[in-house]
Structure 1
Amino acid sequence: MPEILYQINPDRNVPWNNLPLLPVRKELYLTIEILEKLGDAKAALARLQGRSIVIPNQGLLINTISLQEAKISSAIENIFTTDDELYKAYSDQTNEINGASKEVLRYKEALWSGYNYLRNQDYFDIEYFIKVFQEIKQTKDEIRPDFLNTAIKQSGTGPTAGQVIYTPPKGQAIIKEKLDNLVTFLNDDENFKMDYLFKVAIAHYQFEAIHPFRDGNGRTGRVFNINYLTKKGLLDVPILFLSRYILDHKEDYYSGLSGVSQRGNWKDWLLFMLKAIEYTSMITFQKINEIVSAKDSILEFIKKDTRKVRSPEDLVNTLFTQPFTKVKHLVDSGIYSENTARDYLNRLCDLHVLEKKEIEGRHYYLNLELYRILSE
């Protein structure tokens, strides 16, 4: 009788309490094709890391790119907001924000909350996942209680809509056992030696299969992806558009997850994740170059204008930390007085660098080039 390398889920309608613990047998995924794609993904990610490190003001990337990652990851969960609504909400940062924009901003905060949590300690733990989840959902809820019946069902309106496609483990003791195994796998690089990109892909699947929370597991798992890459030094700051690839290949993403639980198909799952890392590293690299090029070009343009601007570098850096700027931003940062800030922003509108917008009685100044780059 052939050896069973991975015990698949025998019944998708019954809680998968026997979800195999990590690690995964290498025979299930280690092929020439996988190793070649690993090399491609590592090269693309290393190029992105090298580019981001040499940028003097990483605030250019931190706000703009992580905000887009938050928007895209939320869209995977059918939480949609327009760029204008999101950038306005981020610019305002008030308690008046509601709806989809608020959900997206919570994701961004969770991304940074997880990043800072891991900077303050040398390991992952269950508390890390709980804190990220709580930030996303703005709740004090923790691991699913024993009485809760949770099943993942087919979405949409087709003939299979509403059918159960997966039932995660049930019971807090079992869920905690699986999570304990997951964090041990993440932290112990001596006993679980493998490339970090293999490890993040395997861990992402395992977290989604455990499905420890009532809701928000998908977004928590995608925050983890980026936090893991920064924790392991593969990224300096969380600036990867990883959710872009998942959104564009949403069916393949969910098919890959199901392929592991139903057929033990780890090879296709790892190929998907490695392709996602490679592709999104490339497009993030391109966007960084476009942002930096646009910033430098606008700075040079302002310096050549006959009407001199005081502290042009500080002004342009502020304009590129988010698409919508307000007079208040320049005043609060201590760069200019209110009158000077308003005069300079209006002058940049005359030069077609910015576009003035009035929304709900408030004035915003849209950085046209930054908006274009992020929207493409």
Structure 2
Amino acid sequence: MMAAPYVPEPLPPAGIDWEAHIPQIASANRALARYDGILQAIPNPELLLSPLLTQEAVLSSRIEGTQASLEDVLRFEANPRERINDRALADIQEIINYREALTVAVDALKARRLDTGLVCDLHRVLLAGSRGMDREPGCIRTIQNFIGRDAHIEHAIFVPPAPADLPGALADWEAYLRNEEEKDILVQLSVLKAQFELIHPFCDGNGRIGRMLVPLIMYEKGLIASPMFYISAYLERNRPVYYERLLAISGDGDWNGWIKFFLHAIEEQAGANGRKAKAILDLYDEMKRTVPEVTRSQYTITAIDAIFKTPIFSSSEFYDLSAIPKESGAKILRDLEESDIIQLVQKGRGRKASIYIFPHLVAITEGDRL
């Protein structure tokens, strides 16, 4: 017998135990404010935190079952002609799409507000040319979907709302997103994130869009100066509890268990994100001292910026990104390699460019605990 489709509770949920959450609300907000302070101290966060965005795309996609690593994605982008199997290519495409969707969102928020229409636009980018491209990209579903261990809805772990209930549920979700009177924005964000995933408005990609909404809502609500907050490392590490807490809302109406879990996730990741951002900024400052001595070049800063934007890169990509003339660029690469700042991964042959890695930056980006 099929479980009845979930009927979302009107927002805000009636049973939030505000008093019980006060200590966690305070510590999560403090941690986020500290992270935002670091973010504001970074001269060009879009450039310097670019590898963290790719790593977020890797981890958010991994929760859905992809296997590709940060290194796999960056190596592919450095050398897209290299032959890899179809499964690996599909994984990498999903990750690149996730990063692209977040970038599109950041640009869009300069001119418009976050709403269901923008979420549909991001979904279209997320599924373009990937495994989900036949699952109605950008369209609110018109069929009943379900989450289960097999293809039978009778065995479903969770049955999201019926298609007829989606317009009302999404209108209520958007109205709560617009609510400026809620007691605490992080609790509001916790509720918005969970409710979106429970509404499950698309045929595919709901979890990835739900995780993408976290930094976008933080940014739109003024909690962070740049829309750069990376939540997926915590959720990927605690995947069983993540799903358990979401299912407890639909099964038992346990919003408080979810809110407690999610506030802790924000606090933990604010600390981890802050340590990574600070380590990247320190490395950048160190390179600004070291690279001029090593290269004696007028192109020092553009060279440094290029290797920070893409820490695994081809020589031709380096010349394009930095706009350094080829002869000067080749000398800089030799100097950086001889000084152990970058390492040669694959030597170029004929028309094939050499591939390099900036290992210090990759280590910071992938490191879970700094």
Identical amino acids, percent of aligned pairs: 24
> CA separation of 1:170/1:96 partners in 2, compared to 1, >3 Å: closer, same or farther?
farther
Match of 1:76 among 63, 75, 78: 63
Paired positions, count: 351
Deviations 1:252-294 (A, max 9, x none): 1001001111111111100111111111110111111111212
Match of 2:345 among 357, 361, 366: 357
Matched, 1:126 2:116: yes
Matched residue SS, 1:28: coil
Matched, 1:332 2:320: yes
Match of 1:233 among 218, 222, 237: 222
Cross-structure match for 1:86: 73
Cross-structure match for 2:147: 152
Using the TM superposition, give the Cα deviation of residue 62 of structure 1 relative to its aligned residue in structure 2, in angstroms.
3.6
> CA separation of 1:20/1:297 partners in 2, compared to 1, >3 Å: closer, same or farther?
same
Cross-structure match for 1:168: 160
Using the TM superposition, give the Cα deviation of residue 241 of structure 1 relative to its aligned residue in structure 2, in angstroms.
2.1
For the Cα contact (< 8 Å) 1:15–1:167, is it kept in 2?
yes
**Structure 2 gap segments, 5+ residues each:** none
Using the TM superposition, give the Cα deviation of residue 52 of structure 1 relative to its aligned residue in structure 2, in angstroms.
1.2
Q: Which moved more, 1:56-65 or 1:195-204?
A: 56-65
Letter in 2 for 1:15: P
Query: Aligned equivalents of 1:93 and 1:62: distance in 2?
Result: 23
For the Cα contact (< 8 Å) 2:187–2:259, is it kept in 1?
yes
Letter in 2 for 1:23: P
Matched residue SS, 1:215: coil
Match of 1:207 among 196, 203, 212: 196
Matched, 1:259 2:248: yes
Matched residue SS, 1:65: helix
What pairs up with 1:316-327 in 2 under 5 angstroms?
A: 316-327=304-315
Using the TM superposition, give the Cα deviation of residue 175 of structure 1 relative to its aligned residue in structure 2, in angstroms.
0.4
Letter in 2 for 1:315: A
For the Cα contact (< 8 Å) 2:54–2:70, is it kept in 1?
no
Query: Aligned equivalents of 2:282 and 2:271: distance in 1?
Result: 17
Cross-structure match for 1:223: 212
Matched residue SS, 1:325: strand
- Give the TM-score normalised by the residue count of structure 2: 0.88
Query: Aligned equivalents of 1:229 and 1:43: distance in 2?
Result: 14
For the Cα contact (< 8 Å) 2:74–2:313, is it kept in 1?
no
Matched residue SS, 1:124: coil
Q: Which moved more, 1:365-374 or 1:125-134?
A: 125-134
For the Cα contact (< 8 Å) 1:91–1:325, is it kept in 2?
yes
Q: Which moved more, 1:94-103 or 1:129-138?
A: 94-103
Query: Aligned equivalents of 2:347 and 2:225: distance in 1?
Result: 36
Deviations 1:127-184 (A, max 9, x none): 1221121111114531111xx23111148xxxxxx9321111112x410110011001
Query: Aligned equivalents of 2:81 and 2:171: distance in 1?
Result: 38
Using the TM superposition, give the Cα deviation of residue 311 of structure 1 relative to its aligned residue in structure 2, in angstroms.
2.8
- Give the TM-score normalised by the residue count of structure 1: 0.87
Cross-structure match for 2:282: 293
Using the TM superposition, give the Cα deviation of residue 112 of structure 1 relative to its aligned residue in structure 2, in angstroms.
1.7
Letter in 2 for 1:235: I
Using the TM superposition, give the Cα deviation of residue 330 of structure 1 relative to its aligned residue in structure 2, in angstroms.
4.0
Query: Aligned equivalents of 2:345 and 2:99: distance in 1?
Result: 25
For the Cα contact (< 8 Å) 2:141–2:201, is it kept in 1?
yes
Query: Aligned equivalents of 1:137 and 1:94: distance in 2?
Result: 22
Q: Which moved more, 1:99-108 or 1:85-94?
A: 85-94
For the Cα contact (< 8 Å) 1:66–1:238, is it kept in 2?
no
Using the TM superposition, give the Cα deviation of residue 304 of structure 1 relative to its aligned residue in structure 2, in angstroms.
3.0
Cross-structure match for 1:348: 336
For the Cα contact (< 8 Å) 1:115–1:230, is it kept in 2?
no
Matched residue SS, 1:365: strand
- RMSD between aligned residues: 2.4
> CA separation of 1:177/1:92 partners in 2, compared to 1, >3 Å: closer, same or farther?
farther
Letter in 2 for 1:244: A
Matched, 1:186 2:162: no
Letter in 1 for 2:364: I
Query: Aligned equivalents of 2:156 and 2:272: distance in 1?
Result: 36
> CA separation of 1:300/1:61 partners in 2, compared to 1, >3 Å: closer, same or farther?
closer
